[in-house]
Copies of this chain bind each other. A is one copy, B any other.
C-alpha cells in the first residue's frame, strides 16, 4: 500500500512531551509536567446531585442530539461570566466548544490559508502551535518581557508580515510563562490590530484564576471593530474532563463556526453541558473558584519558596499573579531537555521549555505546574530538581558565568 496520508499529516509527530506526560502516571513520580487542575477540588458531591437532577428533569433531552451552538441556559450563564469581565455579549455571539482546544483548532480551520502568518508570543501554548501547524501557517514570534508581548516588537512584525491573519495571545497568566499582558499593552494591541487589519485570537482560560494583583479587562473589552475572537473554558474553573469551552465573537464569525463545528462533531456532549449548567444553578461557582484560587496561591507560593531555597542562585523565574504555571530560566547554555530527563530518573517530571517556542527555541527554559501537586509533594519534588540542577552546574563549568535574564533574574555566581 502506498502512503495514503495527506501532506498536512506530516506535521503530526509524537511530541517529546508525550514521554514525560505518560511517565506522570507512575505513582512514585512527582509531576510538575502537565497543565492539570487539582483533582481534589472537583465538586464530586455537587455533581452527583446535578446529574440526578438533569436525568430526572430532562433526561431524554440531555441524551438526544442537540443544537450545534450549544445548550441555551449554559450559553446564558457564559454571557453572565463575560459581562463580569466587561465584555457585553448576546446569545448569537456565544458558541459552546469541546474544550477551548477545539475552539483553537476551529479557528485555524476557519481562518488560515496556506502561507498565512500567525503572530504569537514567544514562547506560547504548545497545543495551539500544533493545531495551527496542520493548516500550514507560518509562525512569527514576538518577544515578551514581564508585561507580556512587547508592542514595539509586535508592530515591527506586523509591518514585516503583510499576510498576518491574526495575533494569537494568552493575556492572563500565560501558558507557559505565567506572564500577564499589561493594561496599556492591551489597548495598544487593539490599535495595532485595527491599523494593520488583523484579527486577535484571545485565548483566556486562566483569567478567572487570579490569586494576586489587580484584574485587568480582557483584550476583547477594548475591541472597537469586532476583530477579537475570545476563547475560554470550564476546564480550569470546573472540570476539564467534561471538555467544555466557548467562543465569544461577532455573530458573522459565530455563524461560520457553527457550520464548521456541525461537520466536525455535530455538537458538544449535551449531558455535560446540562450537568455544568445545573451545577451552576444549584451551587455558587464563584465560591468554588475562590477555593481553587486560595489553593493555587498557596501551592505557587510554596513552589517559589522552594526555588529560592533549593535551586542554584543563577536561575531566574517569573512570579505569576494567577494561573497554573511557573516559568524558569536556567543559565543560557544549559539544556533543559537533558535536565528534564535527569529529573525523570529522579522521579520528578518537568517540561523542557523549548517545546513552547513556535520558531526559535530557548532551550534553557523549564515550565513547572504547581496546581496539581500538594504543598508537601511540591517541596519534595523541588528538592529533587534542585539536586539535579546543582549537580549539573557543578559538572559543567561552561555554565558558570554571569548573565542577566531580565527583571526577575539574579546575577549568577554558582
A105 interface neighbour in B239, B263, B267, Cβ under 8 Å = B263
Mark A32-59 against chain B: 1 for CB-CB distance below 8 A, else 0: 0011110110101001100110011001
Are the CB atoms of A101 and B266 closer together than 8 Å? yes
Instruction: Scan residues 90-121 of chain A and give those whose CB is less than 8 A from a CB of chain B.
Output: 97-99, 101-102, 105, 109-113, 116
Q: Let me know if A110 and B5 touch, CB within 8 A.
A: yes
Q: Cβ of B59 and Cβ of A113 under 8 Å apart?
A: no
A63 and B242 in contact, given A105-B263, A266-B127 (Cβ under 8 angstroms): yes
Contact between B48 and A52 (Cβ–Cβ < 8 Å)? yes
In angstroms, Cα B240 to Cα A225, docked, is: 39
Chain A contributes a number of interface residues (CB within 8 A of B) equal to 79
* Given A6-B109, A98-B265, A165-B4: A63 and B256 interface contact (C-beta under 8 Å): no
| CB-based nearest B residue for A131 | B263
With a CB–CB cut-off of 8 A, which chain B residues contact A109?
A: 6, 8, 134
Report Cα–Cα, A197/B4, bound state, in Å: 9
Contact B4 A111 (CB under 8 A): yes
Shortest beta-carbon distance from A317 to chain B in Å: 25
A64 at the interface (CB under 8 A from B): yes
Residue A316, interface by CB 8 Å: no
Q: Are A6 and B243 in contact (CB under 8 A)?
A: no
Report A246-286 residues with CB < 8 Å from chain B CB: 255-256, 259-260, 262-272, 275
**A7 at interface (Cβ–Cβ under 8 A)?**
yes
Chain B residues whose C-beta falls within 8 Å of the C-beta of A332 in the assembled complex? none
Contact A14 B60 (CB under 8 A): no
A411 to chain B: closest CB distance in Å? 39
Q: How far is the CB of A383 from chain B (nearest CB, A)?
A: 26
Determine if B55 and A39 form an interchain contact, defined as CB atoms under 8 angstroms apart: no
Residue from B40, B131, B265 within 8 A of A99 (CB atoms)? B265
Are the C-beta atoms of A1 and B268 separated by less than 8 Å? no
Task: Give the docked Cα–Cα distance between A39 and B36 (Å).
Answer: 36
Cβ contact of A51, chosen from B48, B112, B242, cutoff 8 A: B48
B55 touching A134, Cβ below 8 Å? no
**Please, how many angstroms separate the alpha-carbon atoms of A99 and B98 in the complex?**
12
Rounded to whole angstroms, the CA-CA distance of A1 and B165 in the bound complex is 12
Chain A 8-42, CB-CB to B under 8 Å as 1, else 0, gives 11001110000000000000000000111101101
A213 beta carbon closer than 8 Å to chain B: no
Question: A297 interface residue, CB < 8 Å from B?
Answer: no
How many whole Å from A246's CB to the nearest CB in chain B? Answer: 14
Set of chain B residues within 8 Å of A6, measured between Cβ atoms: 109-113, 116, 135
Interface residues in A194-249 by Cβ distance below 8 A to B read 197, 199, 225-227, 235, 239-243
Asked if residues A64 and B37 are in contact (CB atoms below 8 Å), the reply is: yes
User: Are the CB atoms of B131 and A264 closer together than 8 Å?
Assistant: yes
Taking a contact as CB atoms under 8 Å apart, the answer to whether B48 and A55 are in contact is: yes
Is there contact, CB below 8 Å, between A256 and B9? yes
B contact residues around A260 at 8 Å (CB): 9, 12, 134
Q: Is the CB of A243 within 8 A of B269?
A: yes
Residues on A facing B (Cβ under 8 Å): 1-2, 4-9, 12-14, 34-37, 39-40, 42, 44, 47-48, 51-52, 55-56, 59-66, 97-99, 101-102, 105, 109-113, 116, 127, 130-131, 134-135, 165-166, 197, 199, 225-227, 235, 239-243, 255-256, 259-260, 262-272, 275
20 pairs across A/B with beta carbons < 8 Å?
A: A5-B256, A6-B112, A6-B116, A8-B109, A9-B110, A12-B256, A12-B259, A36-B64, A39-B63, A42-B60, A51-B51, A63-B239, A63-B241, A64-B239, A64-B241, A98-B268, A99-B265, A101-B265, A127-B266, A243-B266
